[in-house]
Amino acid sequence: MRAAVAAAAAGLLGAAAAAAAKLALGARPLRGAGGWLPVLFRVGCIGLVCACNAVMWTVFAKALRLSSSSATASVTTTASNFISSAILGKLLFGETWTPVWWVGLAMTLCGLVLLHTAAPRPAPLPAEKKEM
């Protein structure tokens, strides 16, 4: 369970880094503000991109260490990033969710449920070598 939480947090941090990058490189941050404020805002967002990415990789490495499978950690991180990016896009940039997005979300969640509830298979024991 701790691995899934760490993987989900890594996905959220990745989405936060992407949102900060979009804010930093957007057309006109802080419309109507003049002087150094827009420049400071962009520099702050670039710093946030670097910080979120650094923490994201640290948390993702922890998720890999705690997980029984690197695939589980990777898929959980990717799904969390997908969902977090959509939520941040809606809140910060007014993006819309199409019906196709909802179908993709449902499929992603079904896959996560299958991945996290399936019983792990024991690794097959290697066959002993026969002596001649």
pLDDT tens-digit profile of 74-115?
989 999 999 999 999 999 989 999 999 899 989 988 988 888
Contact 62, 30 (CB under 8 A): no
Please answer whether residues 105 and 39 qualify as being in contact, where contact means their C-beta atoms are separated by less than 8 angstroms: no
- pLDDT top residue among 8 and 122: 8
Look at residue 130 and tell me whether its pLDDT is greater than 70.
no
Q: What is the pLDDT of residues 17-70, one digit of tens each?
A: 999 999 998 866 666 667 888 888 889 999 999 999 999 999 999 999 999 888
Tokens of 105: 């979300």
Q: What is the pLDDT of residue 119?
A: 65
79 in helix, strand or coil?
A: helix
Q: Where do the H-state alpha helices sit in 26-129?
A: 37-66, 70-93, 99-117
HSE value, Cβ hemisphere, 13 Å, CA-based, for 6: 19
**pLDDT at res. 80:** 93
pLDDT of residue 13: 97
pTM of the model: 0.80
7 pLDDT higher than 70: yes
Q: Rounded CA gap, 51 and 56, in Å?
A: 8
